[in-house]
């Protein structure tokens, strides 16, 4: 029999703050009412602030981040267009698969799971493309399967240094509203995210930030689309309305979520994620376990993917945590299944919640047969949190 709270420490969907949950508890509304724009118009501006853009346009499509991926591709590219992508984790691999299914000519650079986007190789390929045949470059900012954050700004520099005009697509599903992301400064043309991670909402909204350059590309792109048509969405959004039934309750929740982010300040949100992630990483180092991320410069501040020792099944760690301690952690995906478990540390989170996650993880690892000292990881995290330190260099964890 389960008592008390079931703890959620997966990298999405994340915990929904009580204030956001209550904000969504409203009666249904008429989406054609004369005052519906009172709710919606401010949301576009609020999300622009989170994306750090003044010139981009924001669109909300019912669906998840995957739906927003498809909207971005189908509106701005044409069948047969050549695109440059890297495959280094489950979600970057899924993006590659979608691009292929939609008829793009995908040039894929495969790198190990645990590596980041191969910026130097991207630059080399772009430099060879003297006729600008590559129409778009795709970057998974934060690969959720491996706990790796890639350098979007470096990819922008590679494009600029090679005088290349390709569109820059960014998957920001597990980075937006949690990690540093700068749409205008990095000249990102399309950024994709969803409601269920840093924005602290239930799943159901696919969110896009679209540059003027991408909107220009959409005027001539010939890929087929219907529900995901930018032109229909923009025409209705101008007055705060939508071409089909919008998820109104999620809009009320988004309004409250944006207010919470504004109250903390986006720099404060980013710093909090960095601080909490550092505590988690210090605990993992104290356990003597490696991260999937190959180098400390790649460590994600929203999710840590932890390798278990040889002979230990990470699925057993997950089972013990869930069945015995009412706690969910993320599983290893693809080739990492059974070898890795993941702790999500993003969204509505604080030090006490992280310590709960680490305490349960220690007990589950111990019961699964990992030879660790109970309390070692929790103590390391406590020492970090109690110090009040914010900007010390990240602890380095040995890669396997």
261 has pLDDT over 90: yes
Residue 170 lies in a domain: yes
* Tens-digit pLDDT profile for residues 9-31: 999 999 999 999 999 999 999 99
* Tens-digit pLDDT profile for residues 61-87: 999 889 999 999 999 999 999 999 999
Q: What is the mean pLDDT of residues 374-388?
A: 96
* Tens-digit pLDDT profile for residues 239-250: 999 999 999 999
Number of domains in the chain: 2
311 shares its domain with 324 = yes
213 shares its domain with 325 = no
Percent of the chain past pLDDT 70, that is, above it, reads 97
Domain range holding 135? 18-263
Which of these three, 243, 263, 283, is where a domain ends?
263
Which CATH number goes with the domain that contains 372? 3.90.1150.10
179 shares its domain with 251 = yes
212 shares its domain with 326 = no
| Residues 206 and 68: beta-carbon distance below 8 Å | yes
243 shares its domain with 323 = no
258 shares its domain with 205 = yes
Residue 358 lies in a domain: yes
Please report which confidence band the pLDDT of residue 396 belongs to, taking 50, 70 and 90 as the band edges: low
pLDDT given at position 322? 97
51 shares its domain with 164 = yes
Q: What is the mean pLDDT of residues 182-193?
A: 98
116 shares its domain with 234 = yes
Work out the mean pLDDT of the chain and round it to a whole number: 96
Which of these three, 263, 295, 316, is where a domain ends?
263
Please report which confidence band the pLDDT of residue 390 belongs to, taking 50, 70 and 90 as the band edges: low
180 shares its domain with 291 = no
Residue 399 lies in a domain: no
* Tens-digit pLDDT profile for residues 107-158: 999 999 999 999 999 999 999 999 999 999 999 999 999 999 999 999 999 9
Residue 392 lies in a domain: no
Residue 68 lies in a domain: yes
Which of these three, 237, 263, 289, is where a domain ends?
263
Residue 144 lies in a domain: yes
pLDDT given at position 3? 85
181 shares its domain with 327 = no
Please report which confidence band the pLDDT of residue 394 belongs to, taking 50, 70 and 90 as the band edges: low
Please report which confidence band the pLDDT of residue 2 belongs to, taking 50, 70 and 90 as the band edges: confident
230 shares its domain with 308 = no
Residue 290 lies in a domain: yes
Which CATH number goes with the domain that contains 88? 3.40.640.10
Residue 97 lies in a domain: yes
158 shares its domain with 175 = yes
Q: What is the mean pLDDT of residues 304-320?
A: 98
Percent of the chain past pLDDT 90, that is, above it, reads 95
pLDDT given at position 355? 98
């Amino acid at each position: 029999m389960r008592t008390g709270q079931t703890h959620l420490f997966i990298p999405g969907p994340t915990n929904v703050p009580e204030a956001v949950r209550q904000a969504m508890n409203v009666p249904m509304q008429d989406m054609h009412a004369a005052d519906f724009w009172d709710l919606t118009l401010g949301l576009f501006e609020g999300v622009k602030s989170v994306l750090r853009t003044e010139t981009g346009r924001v669109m909300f499509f019912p669906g998840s981040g995957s739906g927003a991926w498809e909207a971005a591709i189908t509106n701005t590219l044409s069948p047969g267009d050549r695109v440059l992508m890297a495959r280094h984790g489950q979600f970057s691999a899924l993006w590659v698969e979608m691009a292929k299914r939609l008829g793009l000519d995908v040039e894929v650079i495969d790198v190990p799971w645990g590596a980041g986007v191969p910026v130097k190789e991207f630059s080399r390929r772009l430099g060879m493309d003297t006729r600008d045949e590559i129409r778009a470059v795709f970057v998974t900012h934060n690969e959720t399967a491996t706990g790796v954050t890639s350098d979007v700004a470096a990819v922008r520099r590679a494009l600029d240094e090679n005088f290349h005009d390709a569109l820059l697509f960014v998957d920001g599903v597990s980075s937006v509203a949690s990690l540093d992301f700068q749409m205008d400064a990095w000249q990102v043309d399309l950024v994709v995210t969803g409601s269920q991670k840093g924005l602290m909402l239930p799943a159901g909204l696919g969110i896009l930030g679209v540059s003027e350059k991408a909107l220009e590309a959409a005027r001539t792109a010939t890929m087929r689309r219907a529900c995901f048509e930018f032109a229909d969405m923009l025409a209705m959004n101008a007055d705060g309305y939508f071409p089909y039934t919008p998820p109104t309750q999620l809009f009320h929740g988004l309004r409250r979520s944006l207010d919470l982010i504004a109250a903390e300040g986006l720099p404060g949100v980013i710093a909090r994620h960095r601080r909490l992630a550092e505590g988690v990483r210090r605990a993992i180092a104290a356990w003597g376990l490696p991260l999937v991320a190959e180098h400390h410069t790649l460590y994600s501040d929203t999710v840590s993917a932890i390798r278990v020792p040889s002979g230990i099944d990470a699925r057993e760690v997950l089972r013990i945590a869930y069945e015995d301690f009412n706690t969910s952690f993320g599983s290893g995906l693809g080739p990492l299944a059974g070898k890795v478990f993941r702790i999500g540390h993003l969204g509505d989170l604080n030090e006490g919640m992280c310590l709960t996650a680490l305490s349960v993880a220690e007990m589950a690892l111990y019961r699964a047969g990992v030879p660790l000292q109970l309390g070692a990881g929790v103590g390391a995290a406590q020492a970090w949190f109690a110090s009040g330190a914010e900007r010390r260099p990240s602890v380095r964890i040995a890669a396997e």
